[in-house]
Every structure is written in C-alpha cells, then in structure tokens.
Structure 1
Amino acid sequence: MQLPDTSLFQSVLFFALSAAGVWIAGARLAYLVDTLADRFKLAKSLMGLLVLSLATSLPEVATTLTAAIQQARDLVLNNLFGGIALQTAILAMSDFWARSPITNYPRKANHALEATLLVLLLSVALIVVNLGETFVVGGVGLGSVCIAMIYAGAIWLLRRYDDSSDWVPIDLPDPDPLSFPAPTGLGKASNKTLIWQAIAACIAILGLGLLLVQFADRIATQSGLGTGFIGVTLLAAATSLPELSTSIAAVRIGAYTMAISNIFGSNLIMLVLVFPADILFRGGPILQDTSRTVSLALAFGLAVTSIYLVGLIVRRKPKIGAFGLDSILVLLLFIASLAAYYFVR
C-alpha cells in the first residue's frame, strides 16, 4: 500500500507514533507469553526462543522480504545484520531492570548454547561475505543455503537440549519475579482469550512495523543520509522495537530467561532470513559483492555475542552498580559500531 506523500517532519512524527504503538503491543505480548508459559507449564526460555522471538521478528521478516523483492540488497543485509548488535544491546539495556547482572540468572547452559550457535552462524556469514559465493544454483548461493541448514540444526539441538540438566550452576540470584504490577485481568482470563490477545498483538506489531519501515525509508531519502547508514541504525532500530519492549517487560516481571532467549532467538532468525531473501533477490547471490557495512555489522554481532557468552559462563563477574560488566561492554561496543557505520557509510 502506497502512503500519501509526507514532509521530513511528518515522516519523523508518524515514525514516532508507529514506534509508540509497537512498544505497547510488544510489552503486552511479553506479559501474554509469560502467562501462557505458566498456564501450559512450558519453559520460559523455550517460549522466548520459539514463540516470542518469532513474533517480535515479524517486522524484520516483512522488511527483508519486501526489500528483497524490490532488489534492495544493501537495505536487506544492513537491516538484518545491523540489527544483531542492536538487539544484543537491547538485552544490555534491560539489565537495568534486573536485580543483578542478567547473565547470572540462567540455571542451564541453554543460553550459552544459543550464543555459541549464534557465533557459529555469524562466522559462516562473515566467511561467505568475504570469500564470495563460489557455488551458485538458480541465483541462490551455497552460503545462504548453508546458513539455513545450520539454523535448522541449531533449533533442533536447542529443542533437544532444553530438558538436559548436565550443567547446573550454583550460587544463583533469587529467581522470584520482581514486584512489578502485571496487567490486571491476565490471571483470570481464559486460555482462549490469552491466545487471541497474543495474535492481536502480533498483528499490531506486524502492521505498525511495516509503517515504521516505510517512514524510515522516507527519512533516509529526505534527510540525505542514505539507506546504508539508515539501514544499520534507524531501520534496524525500528524493526527491533518489539524486542526492546518485550525484553524490558519480561525482565521487569522476572522472566529473565525468556528475555535472553528472545534476543538470541531473534538474532538467529535475522541470519536465517538471508536464505529466503536470496531466493527473492534476482540480481545474483545476495551475499555477493556486499558493502563494507555488512562485514562490519557481522563483526560487531560476533563481538557482542561473544561478550555475553563469556558472561554466561563466568558466573561471578564484576559489576558496576546494578549492571554486569558484560552488559556495559556490549553497550560501549554498540556505540562504537554506530561510529564505525557512519565512518564507512
């Protein structure tokens, strides 16, 4: 759907209004998924990985496929890979609402395994981007096919590992939920009502997310900053708003494992979206002849994920105030990434 013409000020205004709507819908979705996990006695880490991450990634899915159809290679890759460091920084920001460093809470190695598999996928993508697609069939590169296959194997392994208890940390912080007023009515609502509300929240996130994308693209053109810089900053931030609102909401009600799996799961989805985008992009393999921004985004994604992997393994880590050192380092590295993107734009 083509929207009416707007000025730069109007584009920024409508962008902000759409962002506010996504924020509200994302927070509501976090409460609903948490309640459904309790009702059906499902692990919250699994709900975060398979349900919440998929729901909050709907704007990325729509943006990626639309941009691929429009043959906008840079917009596709900058949005996907630029969003990885940003969404990891979102997890660092949500650390502010936790009682202690957020990476101290997981009681199993699930999240460390999620981070490890994410590092693997990022490494494969970076190798393909720098080496180039050496084997191409029907315009689709072997690299994007490998990424899709590794993703499928990662989800299978994570699902199988969910019930494992061969790695049990000790001296953990209090797991009880924070004293935060949850939305009224959820405890008394029927399962059917909760599910329908969750579907409505997903639809709102998708619809408003698409508006965010269109206005972000207009701001890129009207401001003269270009789709490269905008793709890894404003557009990535726009499509990552659901992750931000859901993660903060989850941490505030004490669903720490769901918040962590939400971010890692969303980042895994960002990488696997390269495969359908490669199919829709008809200008050759989508990971071929990419810009410097793409390689930088993958490298920064590797760095911030590795920091959190260390944080998940090292239980007694230094902290500054309520923040864990790992979260502080992730935020600093994300700020550095913005400067790097602007430098090579």
Structure 2
Amino acid sequence: MFVYISFTLAAIFVVFAAIKLNKYGDQISRQTAMSGAMVGGLLIAGATSLPELTTSVTAVYIDNVDIAVGNMLGSNVFNLLILAAVDLYYRKHKAFNTVEPSNYFPSIMFGVILTTTVIIAMVLNLGFSIYNIGFEMYILVALYIVSVKLFESEEPEEQVEQEAGVTPIHKVIRYFIFSAIAVLLAGSVLSISGDLLAAQTGINSSFVGSVLIAASTSLPELVAVIAAYKIGNYAIAIGSILGSNLFNLLLLAFTDAFYQQGPILQGVSYSMIVIATLSLVMMLVTLYMLMRSPTQATIKYIIPSTAIIALYLVVSYIMF
C-alpha cells in the first residue's frame, strides 16, 4: 500500500513542479535574449531529464542494465509519443506549421546521429572501452558538446524590456531552479515506486525499463508540453522534447561511468536495439513534420503524428 501511495503523491508533485518549470522557462524566454527553442532544448530539457538519470544510476547499482539503458532509450521514444499525441489532440492549432524548422535542426539531427551511434555500438558489440566506459560514449559526449555550441551560435533574439509588474529575471531563474530540484526529487520517487510496482508483476526488465519506468520518468515532459501548447509557446514544447532526448543520450554516457563491468551497451538484451531503432524512426518522422511544407488540411497534417502513435503501440505490444 505504501508503494501505491508514494507513487501517486510523487506523480502529483511531478505534475505541479513541471507546470511551474514550464511557466518560469517561458518567462526566461520572454525576458532574455534566449529563444524559446533554446530554453526548451537546454533549460527545460535538462531539468525534466533529471528523473531518468536518477533511475538509471540506481538501476546500475542493482546491476540491472536493461532498466538502466531501457529507461533512457524508452524515455526518448515516449517523449516523441507525447509530442505526437499532444499535437494530434491540438491538431487545429497546427503547431508545426508555426515554428521555424532551422531552430530545431541541431537537436534533432544530433539526436539522429547519437541514436545511430548507440545502435551501431549495440549491434557490433565490440566491447572497446577506455576506463571501463564504452568508446561510443566518448563520441556521444563530443557530439553533444558540438550541438550545444550550435545552440550558442544561434542569433539571439532581441532583449525584451522589463515590463512593470513582471517578476524580476533573477527571481524567475531562482524559481526555475527550485522547480527543477522538485522535479528531480519527485521524479526520482516516482521512478523508484514505479520500479517496485513493476517488479511485483513479474514483467521482464526490458519492458519495465523501456515502457513502464520510461513513461513514469517522462511525466514531466508530458506536463511541460501540454502547458506549452496551452499558452501557445510551441517553440518550447517542441524544443523541450527534442532537447530532452538529446540530453538523455548524454546521460546514457554518464550512466556508463557508474557501470564498472565494462561498456554498459554490451550487457543489454536484443530488445534494446529494437527500442533504439524505434526511437530513430520516430525522430525521422518528427524531422519530416518539421521540414514538410505547411498544410492547412487537418487530415494530411495529422498523418505523421498518427503514424508515430501507431508505431509505438505495435512495438510495445510485441515487446510485451
């Protein structure tokens, strides 16, 4: 009974903290020279990915690499599912028609490259490591640093004048940090409680990590995207998902540093390749949504989002 109560309370706190996180992130975007895509792709993405880190590191210590890796890869899949589902629900807004695609190319293209690197590492299974960390992880870190540099090199938006009655930027940043800490703590409790609940069902670790726990730790992203859509800030909604996926791949390298039995990707089951491939395909569909010509026909607009949702359901069913 305690596990059920802790899971429910943690879920409530994650939702509350994520709403605040998105609110203050939006204010930072409006009051500084940072674009909505950059705020979503770096600030909010990093904060909402904190529960994934805690869960995966914990899984490493209990020697369950499928949960550790599956949580990261599964979260990336679930994040894209969230974006597709919310965009489908708010299909009349046609959010992807209103954003500037070039703002998201660094995050989504590097997401594709990093995910492909992970897939190749798992398929080849070379086991080459430096200080017990897979060589591919050094590549992930290097590519992530390059992607951040591209964010920094983007032309900044004009500085917004401080309006009367608006919360000062230093307080907004402080509130953002408090909200991020709340997401970390509540999200960690949510993940651990979800892990205990899943363990009682006897379902295999691959499904638990890549579907059940991944869905739990992606709850902050879900709330952040819905909140961003409600206030019409689609740049933060899309940027937070793509940035979070990129950040999760960086955290995969960080997780490998805690795994002392060799490269962590060499100890996972075959199903992790399936999940990583699913993530790659979903990213490519999302890239198409960004690059295609704007369409006003609702049926034509929702086809990619519907395809992402259907693909996720089919693969999850097969895994289960």
TM-score (norm 1): 0.85
CA distance in 1, matches of 2:104, 2:98: 10
CA shift in 2, pair 1:199/1:322, >3 Å: farther
- Bigger drift between 324-333 and 66-75 goes to 66-75
Larger deviation, residues 66-75 vs 136-145: 66-75
1:129 to 109, 122, 127: 122
Alignment match, 1:19? 11
Alignment RMSD (CA, Å): 2.2
Amino acid at match of 2:84: A
Give the SS at the match of 1:224: coil
Q: What residue is the counterpart of 1:288 in the other structure?
A: 266
Q: Among 115, 118, 142, which residue is 1:149 paired with? A: 142
Amino acid at match of 2:42: L
Output the amino acid matched with 1:77.
V
Normalising to structure 2: TM-score of the pair? Answer: 0.91
SS of 2:10's equivalent in the other structure is helix
Q: Aligned equivalents of 1:197 and 1:279: distance in 2?
A: 31
Partner AA of 1:72 in structure 2: N
Q: Are 1:72 and 2:50 counterparts?
A: no
What is the CA-CA distance between 1:202 and the residue it aligns to?
Answer: 1.1
Alignment size in residue pairs: 313
Q: Decide whether the 8 Å contact of 1:98 with 1:252 is kept in 2.
A: no
Unaligned runs of 5+ in 1: 1-6, 166-185
1:100 aligns with 2:89: no
What aligned pairs does 1:22-33 form with structure 2 within 5 A after superposition?
22-33=14-25
In structure 1, how many angstroms separate the alpha carbons of the residues matched to 2:188 and 2:255? 17
Q: Which moved more, 1:318-327 or 1:120-129?
A: 318-327
Structure 1 pair 322/55, CA: closer, same or farther in 2 (3 Å)? farther
Write out aligned runs for 1:1-345 (5 A).
Answer: 7=1, 10-95=2-87, 96-97=89-90, 99-160=92-153, 162-163=154-155, 188-317=166-295, 320=298, 324-342=302-320
Distance 1:75 1:33, change over 3 A: same
1: CA distance between counterparts of 2:15 and 2:258? 30
* CA displacement, residues 143-192 of structure 1 (integer Å, 9 cap, x when unaligned): 111122122122222332x2299xxxxxxxxxxxxxxxxxxxx9632323
- The structural deviation recorded for 1:66 is 2.5
1:181 corresponds to which residue? none
Quick one: distance in 2 between partners of 1:92 and 1:35? Answer: 25
Once residues 159 and 324 of structure 1 are traced to their aligned partners in structure 2, the CA distance between those partners, rounded to angstroms, is: 32
What code does the residue aligned with 2:111 have?
L
Deviation for aligned residue 1:13: 3.7
Shift of 1:319: 5.2
For residues 100 and 302 of structure 1, what CA distance do their matches in structure 2 show?
Answer: 26
Q: CA deviation at 1:281?
A: 0.2
Structure with higher helix content: 2
Contact 2:221 2:240 in 1 (8 A): yes
In the alignment, is the contact (CA less than 8 A) between 1:318 and 1:325 conserved in 2?
Answer: no
Which residue type is aligned with residue 311 of structure 2?
A: L
The answer on whether the counterparts of 1:35 and 1:187 sit within 8 Å (CA) in structure 2 is no
Question: What is the rounded CA distance, in whole Å, between the counterparts of 2:296 and 2:32 in structure 1?
Answer: 37
Q: CA deviation at 1:321?
A: 5.9
